[in-house]
Structure 1
Amino acid sequence: MLMVYPHPELQFTHILPYGAVLHERGVQFVVFSRNATAMRLLLYKSVDDTEPSEIIDFDRETDRWGDIWSIFVPGVSAGQLYHFQAEGPYDPSRGLLFDGRARLIDPYAKALAGTFQAAHDGIVRPPKCVVVDDQFNWEGDRHLRRDLSETIIYEMHVKGFTGSETSGVKNPGTYAGVVEKIPYLKSLGVTAVELMPVHEFPIMDMMTGEKANRTNYWGYDTMAFFAPHRGYAATKEPGGQVREFKEMVKALHQAGIEVILDVVFNHTCEGNEMGPILSFKGLENPVYYMLANGGSHYKNYSGCGNTVNGNHPIVREMIFHSLRHWVHNYHVDGFRFDLASILSRDRNGNLVPNPPLVEAIAEDPLLADTKIIAEAWDAAGAYQVGSFANLRWAEWNGRYRDDIRSYWRGDPGKLGALATRLAGSSDLYQPGGRQPYHSINFITSHDGFPMNDLVSYNDKHNDANGENNRDGDNHNISYNYGVEGPTRRRSIEKTRVRQIKNMMATLLLSQGVPMVLMGDECRRTQGGNNNAYCQDNETSYMNWKLVEKNADMRRFVKALIAFRRDQPTVRQKHFLSGKGTGRRGLYDVNWYSALGTAVTWDAAEGSLTCVLAAPDKSNDPHGVGRDVLLVMNATASPAQFILPPVAKATSWRMFVDTAAEPPADVYPDLNGPRPPASGKFVMPERSMRVYVAAR
């Protein structure tokens, strides 16, 4: 339901049916539990209180409606701190884990305050829920509604972006800190930030065993799907993170930058049968989680101890309300769903066609303005890249990542894969009637090596994680070019810089939607750690000294982003067909060998020439598109190139030359040297050139 406030500037608010519903004279507290025999509301005066100041019992006769417990408490207002407490059967063999002593987080809590409190009575005391007033003056802010085909995503961690003392911001590691760095994001040219999880999560990992007490830096361990993480707020006022998050979104929108949230609806921080009872377990464990062995164990398709029962009607409703809450109360522009294949599993864990939750998210009218992106796999072997759901869903293209890494590393037989990925991955998306923009292209992400480490390490170096280097992926498709890690050898450093430029140019000139990882534009490093989930320190933070140290790389990336935004030729909305354009024998995409002849696609060689014709006026009504010539040599030796006849009649100017020293590596004004009149030239090893036709 939508409600219009009397003041137009406050705009729309999505009113939740559960949780703490604020009224003029008090608060209605509403919670679902089917098997509870009694329910209590615990009220606190301070975040430091270990015991409630008031305990209010729900009346089974008057305060229970079906499976909903609902009580109105007069005189309570925004800022009130609370927990729920549920009595009921404790029978693990049936999955029932009621504990009348447990302090339970409201599944619909809009904010949490405080920390986990130590006590000697064996009762876990999680952060307290906060009653929140959603009113906020958005000053006319609306979703930016940028077309997905025109989007350039920057994946970033809220704390890591400004957490380093080198950031120079007033409020490092916070939503407010992000606001201070908006001029940097705007100067880079990205159109959207994809924020790693901001739903509330325990600051310390709730896992048991050898992972116990690790810092939960990444945040993929949700404990409240409606609440922005309190640890990223500069203000320490209970609930203050709500306003601060909204201020960040509003400021990003004012800069023309959309906000996409990485959401984790596949598991929670409560873990398996050995984990704590914090919320869902203590209210209705068999509903919220997929259980096995009659209910005594948790199915684990997430690799994190439990699996959220997303296709149960109660849980499905909660997920919908969470998404709507973030869209209409926080104005976020879209979501990236972590391990989204889990959402395709039924209550028994089986992958099903047309899963209700996935279909309903795509069809929900309140989410119609949003971008929805799937990580189309899970930890139990499901891999649905290219086949996830319907036309509303875009996907992280893991095949793109692997094929581009392999080609530029020099792996043989990758020409066909390179061409397919450059052209938008039609093999994956066209059979289902989808388009290039359904492919979210990336080479690096938070999960794995950043770009600098991809060209600096053959192997992962995760010893700091405390798991004897067993964690993290072993299949990195990386190469160190002679030395493991940092080096002063100029020849190796030169190759590494060139390879970063090759991959960045490929990423930003491919059909589809590019995603750049935070700091790749200035060679951020994690010291070879490819699984920095617990590194809340300089290993993971953006080192702002690198922005100036590697200013040439940043200039290179900025020029590519600006070119992509200006040129529809490299971000077309429909798949290239290989058909003629009626101009000088050009097809919309033209492939040639290094010698300008037909390509032998299964050859071991690593050289390729591509001519992209500007889209016709039906796809480019402003007529700004230009023909683009891509010349690539991924081999370890120089290679002779001859321009194909179809390209010789065009007046070309160089845009990119990854083998050249700055500033000749990129010409932002598209006024670089012309190709030799003979059409013959030698491409250095591991290099790429991009030419652009005159208008």
Structure 2
Amino acid sequence: MLMKQPCPEQQFAYQTPYGSTLQDTGVQFSVFSRSATAMRLLLYNKVNDLEPSEIIEFDPIKDRRGDIWSMHVPGLAHGQLYHYQASGPWDPEHGHRFDATARLIDPYAQALAGTYLPSTDGIVRPPKCVVIEDTFDWEGDRHLRHDMSETVIYEMHVRGFTKSRTAKVKPAGSYLGVIEKIPYLKSLGITAVELMPVNEFPIRDPHGKKLERANYWGYDPMAFFSPHRGYAHSKEPGAQVNEFKQMVKALHAAGIEVILDVVFNHTCEGNEQGPTLSFKGLENQVYYILSEGQHYSNYSGCGNTLNGNHPVVREMIFHCLRHWVYNYHIDGFRFDLASILSRDTKGNLIPNPPMVEMIAEDPMLANTKVIAEAWDAAGAYQVGSFGNHRWAEWNGRYRDDVRGFWRGDGGTLGALATRLAGSSDLYEHAGRPPHCSINFITSHDGFTMNDLVTYKEKRNLANGEDGRDGDNHNISDNYGEEGPSRKKGVRTIRDRQVRNMLTTLLLSQGVPMLVSGDECRRTQKGNNNAYCQDNDISWFDWRLVEKNTDLIRFVKSLIEFRKAQPTVRRREFLTGRPVDGRMIPDVSWYSPAGTPLDWGQHELAMVAYIAAPSRADDPEGAGRDVVMMFNSTGQNRDFTLPEVERNMKWNLFVDTAAESPKDVYPQWDGPRPPSNRVVEVPCHSMKIYVNQIEPVAKISQPTVTEGR
């Protein structure tokens, strides 16, 4: 008898119906254009060729079905370079901007090669599209599917992470460079990296010249389906596809998910004065939101706005998300200026926008994390009301309230308590759990954590905009001297404030997002809008890892505690009601005197008692009770442990006023509180105690004999 041999594992690939599709006998090219009167395919032999080696006309009868132009070209192979060219009406007053001379990037291109080429004839020559054959060996790699409530996000820039000489990485500033630093990422304990834009964006201007201001951040999309060629180590056309996948596979092997920052709100084509590179020359009035039929609505602040709720654009976005999830094994997305997805084809904000709902309900994205930056550049602010329970949000309220409390702003005590407890004011009413709140204090946009406690004012002159750019409302302080200081008193307060904010961030209910370098005091020298600084201002200085080992140890200990303790990462909101039969509320708030907190008082000091979760939420019984003491005043304060804690044994876990190694006890075995239960908490600091109660033994269940 012959035994059936197992088939080799098959990896599911997602094939879009448009773009260039490699087939056995050649390549199928398909592109959408409703109003074009003619379509051409331009083929090139080399990346730097100014002119195509061959131009092939689409037959308007044989090669057009509805609004789709589709043609099979035999004999072409992987690596073929191409553009489209479309003829049609030039009628800007009615939204048409066809230019029969323009070389157009395929909206579904899977890779681009080269850059803008110099022009002497007025014709813009953008990077060329590349035909891609997907033969990557994933070696069984799968999406990790970490539960959102257990996620710790690390926002980082692919190039900036290893571009500095201090990284000592040979493929510096590349996907492969990230791979070399994975041991560091793993050692921190983070569970996901959120990569700033990695889809294609311009490297040079449309005339082939160096950009006046470097496009470092990448929030200027050129081709949504393609990894950025500038982050590939190899310069071979299409090499970025393979190298990006290598990076994802290596991160997954280390237990780290990959979340992409995607920009479905505008493109690099700009407004009426911008170049025609792709969408404008194929179907301008479909791809963009126009006012009065001709002007570009600018809800993005970048010159134009993608028409995300038009059926054709919705389809493109869905194909793009599935492409990244299935062909690149991406675990989630953060949607830049996501409120634009809530605008209809005329730019009006609408309830239950189809784009937002469809992303949440798409069965092919069911296990994918979706995170919204729930505002846009035109005044929409939807934090707490963006989408359903599938959507998480960057919680801008969390950032502002935590900054304000630790700076000492009056009236922020209640706000801090609400943010610490998961922002139920924003999410509970809509039936959304605490992990819908992505908590952050800093992000790529604004001060770093170090600069937040070092500068009152931004220092953006290097950007070349006379200081007009960047937010003026930073909720920051310098604590006595602007910029770096040698004064011990100033440095002491700054050290405490950094630890205060990192502790608050990593032990709040919700999902914490740590910005790359905050764990080692990375500085941008006061620049709070380093979008154009492709230099040492933005790059990760790896010398800081050695210089600030104590702070890195502190952060690692907090992350490890968070991952081990369901007490600080609940799946449901705290209620103030007793947990199980212990008669201790899941959360209690006290004054420094140990009495119930008067929310009407203006003092910035309090105690938060968070009880271990019920056995329904913590079946292993691993949770510990946690007491957090906050003192944002300028005076040392005595805190009395409340009566509810009298019969428990406690150990110090965190003391943000202490010098290392006494600032954190990774084994939760620090000193016991004084016998009189009065704990001194120095000014601008916090202390955390963890109880010693052993996990409650599982209750044995009676044996049930089933009837026969």
Does TM, normalized by the shorter one, top 0.5? yes
TM-score, length-scaled by structure 1: 0.98
Corresponding position of 2:240: 241
Shift of 1:582: 5.2
Distance between the aligned counterparts of 1:7 and 1:106, measured in 2? 36
Corresponding position of 2:649: 651
CA deviation map 1:73-114 (0-9, x unaligned)? 000011000000001111111111111110000000000000
1:282 aligns with 2:281: yes
Contact 2:196 2:218 (C-alpha < 8 Å) held by counterparts: yes
Corresponding position of 1:272: 271
Contact 2:116 2:204 (C-alpha < 8 Å) held by counterparts: no
CA deviation map 1:448-501 (0-9, x unaligned)? 001000000001110011000000000000000011111111111111111000
Give the secondary structure class of the aligned counterpart of 1:12.
coil
Q: Which moved more, 1:7-16 or 1:280-289?
A: 7-16
Distance between the aligned counterparts of 1:308 and 1:259, measured in 2? 25
1:677 aligns with 2:656: no
Q: Among all aligned residue pairs of Structure 1 and Structure 2, give the percentage whose two residues are the same amino acid.
A: 68
Distance between the aligned counterparts of 2:668 and 2:477, measured in 1? 32
Contact 2:637 2:682 (C-alpha < 8 Å) held by counterparts: yes
Distance between the aligned counterparts of 2:386 and 2:7, measured in 1? 42
Contact 2:627 2:688 (C-alpha < 8 Å) held by counterparts: yes
Correspondent of 1:339 among 319, 337, 340: 337
Contact 1:502 1:658 (C-alpha < 8 Å) held by counterparts: yes
Contact 2:509 2:568 (C-alpha < 8 Å) held by counterparts: yes
Amino acid at match of 2:233: A
Shift of 1:10: 4.8
Correspondent of 1:628 among 626, 629, 639: 626
Shift of 1:205: 6.4
Q: Which moved more, 1:123-132 or 1:638-647?
A: 638-647
Amino acid at match of 2:242: R
Amino acid at match of 1:653: N
Contact 1:9 1:138 (C-alpha < 8 Å) held by counterparts: no
What is the aligned length? 686
Change in CA separation of 1:205 and 1:377 when aligned onto 2, cut-off 3 Å: farther
Corresponding position of 2:202: 202
- Alignment of structure 1 residues 274-673 onto 2, 5 Å: 274-294=273-293, 296-581=294-579, 585-673=583-671
Amino acid at match of 2:402: I
Change in CA separation of 1:258 and 1:54 when aligned onto 2, cut-off 3 Å: same
1:12 aligns with 2:12: yes
Corresponding position of 1:3: none
Change in CA separation of 1:582 and 1:11 when aligned onto 2, cut-off 3 Å: closer
Contact 1:266 1:340 (C-alpha < 8 Å) held by counterparts: yes
Change in CA separation of 1:204 and 1:450 when aligned onto 2, cut-off 3 Å: farther
Q: Which 4+ runs in 1 deviate beyond 2 A? A: 6-10, 204-207, 581-585
CA deviation map 1:327-359 (0-9, x unaligned)? 000000000000000000000000111101110
Shift of 1:284: 0.3
Contact 2:115 2:204 (C-alpha < 8 Å) held by counterparts: no
Shift of 1:226: 0.2
Corresponding position of 2:99: 99
Structure 1's unaligned 5+ residue stretches are: 1-5
Amino acid at match of 1:509: L
Distance between the aligned counterparts of 2:580 and 2:322, measured in 1? 48
Change in CA separation of 1:188 and 1:514 when aligned onto 2, cut-off 3 Å: same
Give the secondary structure class of the aligned counterpart of 2:429.
coil
Distance between the aligned counterparts of 1:251 and 1:10, measured in 2? 19
Distance between the aligned counterparts of 2:142 and 2:424, measured in 1? 33
Distance between the aligned counterparts of 1:224 and 1:287, measured in 2? 17
Corresponding position of 2:144: 144
Distance between the aligned counterparts of 2:608 and 2:647, measured in 1? 15
Contact 1:10 1:135 (C-alpha < 8 Å) held by counterparts: no
Amino acid at match of 1:536: D
Corresponding position of 2:700: none
Amino acid at match of 1:332: I
Change in CA separation of 1:90 and 1:146 when aligned onto 2, cut-off 3 Å: same
CA RMSD for the aligned pairs?
A: 1.2
CA deviation map 1:358-391 (0-9, x unaligned)? 1000010110110000000000100000000111
Contact 2:398 2:439 (C-alpha < 8 Å) held by counterparts: yes
Distance between the aligned counterparts of 1:529 and 1:649, measured in 2? 50
Distance between the aligned counterparts of 2:663 and 2:690, measured in 1? 14
Shift of 1:584: 5.5
Distance between the aligned counterparts of 2:594 and 2:196, measured in 1? 44
Shift of 1:552: 0.5
Shift of 1:7: 7.3
Amino acid at match of 1:461: R
Change in CA separation of 1:652 and 1:64 when aligned onto 2, cut-off 3 Å: same
Corresponding position of 1:256: 255
TM-score, length-scaled by structure 2: 0.96
Give the secondary structure class of the aligned counterpart of 2:203.
coil
CA deviation map 1:606-664 (0-9, x unaligned)? 10101110011110111111001101100111112111111222100011000001000
Shift of 1:195: 0.1
CA deviation map 1:129-149 (0-9, x unaligned)? 000012211111110011000
Change in CA separation of 1:7 and 1:178 when aligned onto 2, cut-off 3 Å: farther
Give the secondary structure class of the aligned counterpart of 1:154.
strand
Shift of 1:581: 2.2
Contact 2:260 2:332 (C-alpha < 8 Å) held by counterparts: yes
Give the secondary structure class of the aligned counterpart of 1:431.
helix
Distance between the aligned counterparts of 1:614 and 1:555, measured in 2? 25
Shift of 1:321: 0.2
Distance between the aligned counterparts of 2:92 and 2:400, measured in 1? 43
Structure 2's unaligned 5+ residue stretches are: 1-5, 695-708
Corresponding position of 1:214: 213
Give the secondary structure class of the aligned counterpart of 1:666.
coil
Give the secondary structure class of the aligned counterpart of 2:430.
coil
Distance between the aligned counterparts of 1:203 and 1:297, measured in 2? 26
Amino acid at match of 1:276: P
Shift of 1:9: 3.9
Shift of 1:213: 2.5
Distance between the aligned counterparts of 1:329 and 1:505, measured in 2? 37
Contact 2:116 2:206 (C-alpha < 8 Å) held by counterparts: no
Change in CA separation of 1:582 and 1:280 when aligned onto 2, cut-off 3 Å: closer
Shift of 1:204: 3.8
Contact 1:205 1:214 (C-alpha < 8 Å) held by counterparts: no
CA deviation map 1:524-560 (0-9, x unaligned)? 0000000000000110010000001011110000000
CA deviation map 1:180-217 (0-9, x unaligned)? 0000000000000000000100024679xxx9731100
Give the secondary structure class of the aligned counterpart of 1:11.
coil
Amino acid at match of 1:238: P
Q: Which moved more, 1:101-110 or 1:483-492?
A: 483-492
Corresponding position of 2:690: 692
Shift of 1:599: 1.1
- Alignment of structure 1 residues 29-48 onto 2, 5 Å: 29-48=29-48
1:24 aligns with 2:15: no
Corresponding position of 1:49: 49
Corresponding position of 1:68: 68
Corresponding position of 1:184: 184
